[in-house]
Structure 1
Amino acid sequence: MGIITRSANSRKPSESMRLIVTTFVGVVFGFLIGLSFPTLSLTKLNLPSSLLPSLDLSYIEDKNAGLSTQTFINVWSSFKSNASSSTQSRSLNTTSKIWVPSNPRGAERLPPGIVEAESDFYLRRLWGKPSEDLTLKPKYLVTFTVSYDQKKNIDAAVKKFSENFMILLFHYDGRTTEWDEFEWSKRAIHVSVRRQTKWWYAKRFLHPDIVAPYDYIFIWDEDLGVEHFNAEEYIKLVRKHGLEISQPGLEPNKGLTWQMTKRRGDREVHKETEEKPGWCTDPHLPPCAAFVEIMAPVFSRNAWRCVWHMIQNDLIHGWGLDFALRKCVEPAHEKIGVVDSQWIVHQGVPSLGNQGEATNGKAPWQGVRERCRKEWTMFQSRLTNAENAYYKAIGVDPSNTTAH
């Protein structure tokens, strides 16, 4: 028994020592681990905010590391504030970028208040206040495609238009400065490109957004006699009869012309006529109605916006265009007409025709005339194909439409 007792007593100090050593080692190990924690940024802990209120932060304190409860709270608050600020900044950067789909194409990034989608041909000074530049704003635009050889004719024509009309000359012979012998020429707009037609000019210089300030746009040839024409009276009649596309009546005994555009002496305006048998499939369609020629057309602002888009970029003579003008107004047989009481004479001067080149033994004007006819056929084909493609795309049989 004595042996057993001594054996048990000898083991107790040994076990106690082992326990003390183990505890000491654990404490030291824990202390060393604790020293490494200050290098770990608590801001990287992605703790949900809902968890924070349930934590008793009074237990999270490591004096050796120098990280107190208050420090942890400050770090966490700073993290939340920075995160919120970053999110808000990204949101502001996204929403502050201007994008206005209703602006003109290409200007979507601009604030609408700075966008100037339209312009004009008003002449402005190089000095003074912009608001005081214009003492008068012409309400109508008149264009002539000219050569200097026709200067007397153009001078007479321009004098038929009051100061309410802006004058724009397209020079196909390259001569512009000589026109300054006329006082009105110094206030006119001059555009000079050699050997081009008025429809070439119109497509490039009469964009609807450029001529938007003008109620009516006259696009006239240079060989027109205007002895019996008054522009202000013409505008009054166009408004009175609701014409969106029009022309003055043509002297019936001078040159070749369609029945529709011949002047009638018994009325102010006419909108329909009778042609040769079989020429008109419908009394409301060209050339019996909804038709004017391309030598002296006058367009309202709205009608021109449509017509300009219909002008082909590479077809410059305009043949065939007169038969298609009706597509830009509705009902065409009521809004297209000829003003009889203000009439003109087509002199038929082949000046532009002589700008061609003689080839294969043909005179210059013959080559020009041949291209005119080709363009008429090409335009008709393009228009028909485009209409058929549209109707097929929407599931409609083109043969059942009234567009042709």
Structure 2
Amino acid sequence: MAKLGVNVGRSGLMRPNETMRLIFSAVIGVMLGYLFGISFPTVSITKLHFPSSIISYIEDKNSGITTQTLLNHAWSSANTHKRNSTSDPNEIPKIHVSTNPKGAEMLPPGIVASESDFYLRRLWGEPTEDLTMRQKYLVTFTVGYGQKANIDRAVKKFSENFTILLFHYDGRASEWDDLEWSKRAIHVSVRKQTKWWYAKRFLHPDIVAPYDYIFIWDEDLGVEHFNAEEYIKLVRKHGLEISQPGLQPDRGLTWQMTKRRGDREVHKVTEERPGWCSDPHLPPCAAFVEIMATVFSRDAWRCVWHLIQNDLVHGWGLDFALRKCVEPAHEKIGVVDAQWIVHQVVPSLGNQGRAENGKAPWEGVRERCRKEWSMFQTRLADAEKQYYTEKGIVPPNSTA
């Protein structure tokens, strides 16, 4: 009987192959239920992979099609059916316009306002009726209260076609309210800053885009012989993209290029001291104006704004590099002689410095100016060298 019991017990045990088939069938049943169940709509699995030792047990040797292939096909069909059954034919696609300005790709192009202006608007009424005229030009002065009378005279040389923008470096903007034109001017007040600091932060090309020409002027300029509208006519006539009025030669003259010529409307070249000009088409003999009373076309300013360094606030050296922004520079940069100004050489900005190490405030400012010039030249030279090297081109010798 014991022997019989043993035989019966052995006959009741499953063979290993049958056990594996049973386990695998259970696994397949669970997985198929998981895949096809509508209660799992977010499953993102596209293929199920099983060990080859298991798949071989249920492979159809006659057809050559494995269970893995069947499962993949089943999942693909189910996934396609689910997408078709859940898609809404009325669903509106999301907006994405790669040609929009960076950050505005999700907006329809018709609503994107990528440019602005300094036009003053009302707080009431119809927006379309706010502006009785749109100024075509912009003039900026960087000012302190001590030069108020001189700026008053200067502003009156600019017609209603000009937007007036004052950058106040002494914090006394409210003390200009007694001047009639000041009420319609734009005032920006930040203490102890330079005009190039202001220009970099408040004259972005997309902000000044409505203006054909941008005047960026110092506060110590005599304008008795200057008329802004006539100046614009001459700039257009002679194709100048970057320009300045001629300077009265008896005061504040540094370069021969900016000296007024009494026998012509405009000049674009000059002769300097021996050895100063390696090329007659390069600064300071051509393609050169100073930065005290510069006038830029809209297109030229878009380039120059990017040339201005964020931390080099005095702009020294910039005048030698302006030629990088127009081509050919010796034809598109020039001095307007028929409309001329006087540089009064008032060192007001120097007084905004601070006395340090026994040096007067203006000495520290002048030292910073010279240091910035050297830094700017180095940066420009390094940037050009890097560009040409990356292109596999031998860098030219000249930079700024």
TM-score category of the 2 structures, normalised to the smaller one: 0.7 to 0.9
> CA offsets per residue over residues 353-389 of structure 1, 9 Å max, x none?
0000011111100000000000000000000000000
Matched, 1:372 2:360: no
Query: Where does structure 1 lack aligned partners over 5 or more consecutive residues?
Result: 1-39, 46-78
Structure 2 spans left out of the alignment, 5+ residues: 1-31, 38-78
Q: Do 2:253 and 2:259's aligned partners in 1 also have CA atoms closer than 8 Å? A: no
Instruction: Indicate whether 1:311 and 2:303 are aligned.
Output: no
In the alignment, does 2:378 pair up with 1:381? yes
Sequence identity, in percent?
A: 78
User: CA offset at residue 83 of structure 1?
Assistant: 4.1
1:2-58 superposed Cα distances (whole Å, 9 cap, x missing partner) = xxxxxxxxxxxxxxxxxxxxxxxxxxxxxxxxxxxxxx99x949xxxxxxxxxxxxx
Residue from 369, 387, 395 that aligns with 1:398: 395
- TM-score when normalising by structure 1: 0.78
Partner of 2:142: 145
Letter in 1 for 2:84: S
Aligned runs of 1:3-402 on 2, under 5 Å? 44=36, 83-86=83-86, 88-89=87-88, 96-399=93-396
Query: In structure 2, what residue type is equivalent to 1:173?
Result: D
Counterpart AA for 1:292: V
Distance 1:278 1:232 in 2: 38
Structure 1 residue aligned with 2:74: none
Normalized per residue, which structure has more helix? 1
**Distance in 1 between residues matched to 2:368 and 2:113, nearest whole Å:** 39
> Aligned equivalents of 2:344 and 2:95: distance in 1?
56
The alpha carbon displacement at 1:173 in A equals 0.2
Does the residue aligned with 2:139 lie in a helix, a strand or coil? strand
Q: Which has the larger radius of gyration?
A: 1
Q: Secondary structure at the match of 2:341?
A: strand
CA distance in 2, matches of 1:220, 1:129: 35
Q: Is the Cα contact below 8 Å between 2:380 and 2:399 reproduced in 1? A: no
- d(CA) in 2 for partners of 1:184, 1:384: 44
Q: 1:256 Cα deviation (Å)?
A: 2.9
Distance 1:171 1:391 in 2: 41
Amino acid at match of 1:136: M
Distance 2:344 2:254 in 1: 12
Instruction: Work out the CA distance in 1 between the residues paired with 2:80 and 2:326.
Output: 64
- Using the TM superposition, give the Cα deviation of residue 98 of structure 1 relative to its aligned residue in structure 2, in angstroms: 1.6
Bigger mean CA deviation after superposition, 101-110 or 144-153 = 101-110
CA contact (8 A) 2:235 2:336 kept: yes
Q: CA deviation at 1:82?
A: 5.7
CA distance in 2, matches of 1:394, 1:217: 35
Task: Give me the TM-score of the superposition, normalised by structure 2.
Answer: 0.79
How much does 1:351 deviate? 0.4
**What are the Cα deviations for residues 270-310 of structure 1, in whole angstroms up to 9, with x where unaligned?**
00000011100000000000000000000000000000001
Q: 1:84 corresponds to which letter in structure 2?
A: N
- Matched residues in 1 for 2:83 and 2:121: separation? 55
Q: Secondary structure at the match of 2:165?
A: strand
Deviating 4+ runs (over 2 angstroms): 79-83, 401-404
User: Counterparts of 2:157 and 2:301 in 1: how far apart (Å)?
Assistant: 23
Equivalent position SS for 1:181: coil
Cα distance in 2 for partners of 1:122, 1:368 equals 35
